[in-house]
Amino acid sequence: MSRARGEPWMLVGAVVLGLLAGMVPLPASIEAVRPYWIALVVIYWALESPEQLGLGLAFLIGLWADVLFGSLLAEQSMRLCILVFLVQRFRARLRFFPVTQQTLAVLALLLNDRVVALALRVAAGEGTPPWLFWLAPFVGAAVWPLLYLLLDRWRMRSRFRHG
């Protein structure tokens, strides 16, 4: 089995796990600081395997997330497409950053995502969210190094096993 045929299943598995992590019920007091798991997974795959995850797939993943999470239709699609576009634009630099610098870049991407989410929510008439809304990108950035290492190890093990 070649690497190209093996990676799509890994991508699908990672996306499903990211969506499931986003659906795990949390107490209301910490729900607002939940990392945007699917965005972290999408950022990883856009960085490491851009031929597998482009804007079209990001849009479809976002639609799937919109349906699962009950959010405004195409809200997450738009947010994920913006994330993937930015990752693709700066991929050559981001890939070669050490994990600490990459974490800061992921924080910037997640903060940008929050600005987009806020604009969409205000435009939809939902009003402004509580201040905890701004903590989730920091939690996501804190989780990034571990998630990056886990996904990278999983992808590399599969590559060597099947390639």
CA distances from 121 to 6, 73, 109 (A): 38, 12, 18
Mean pLDDT, residues 153-159 taken together: 81
pLDDT of residue 73: 87
Write the pLDDT tens digit of every residue in 38-58.
999 999 999 999 999 999 999
Mean pLDDT, residues 33-41 taken together: 96
* pTM reported for the whole predicted model: 0.91
Best CA proximity match to 60, nearest among 10, 106, 114, 12: 12
What percent of the chain is predicted at pLDDT more than 70?
93
pLDDT band at 161 (very low <50, low <70, confident <90, very high): low
pLDDT at 157 over 60: yes
Sequence-ordered list of residues with C-beta below 8 angstroms from that of 7, at least 6 positions apart, any chain: 49, 52, 155, 158
pLDDT at 85 over 60: yes
Q: How far apart are CA 107 and CA 82, in angstroms?
A: 15
DSSP class of 73:
T
Best CA proximity match to 99, nearest among 44, 157, 50, 56: 44
Structure-token pair, residue 150: 């886990």
Report whether 81 contacts 58 (CB < 8 A): yes
Q: Give the residue extent of every domain in the chain.
A: 3-162
Q: How far apart are CA 77 and CA 83, in angstroms?
A: 10
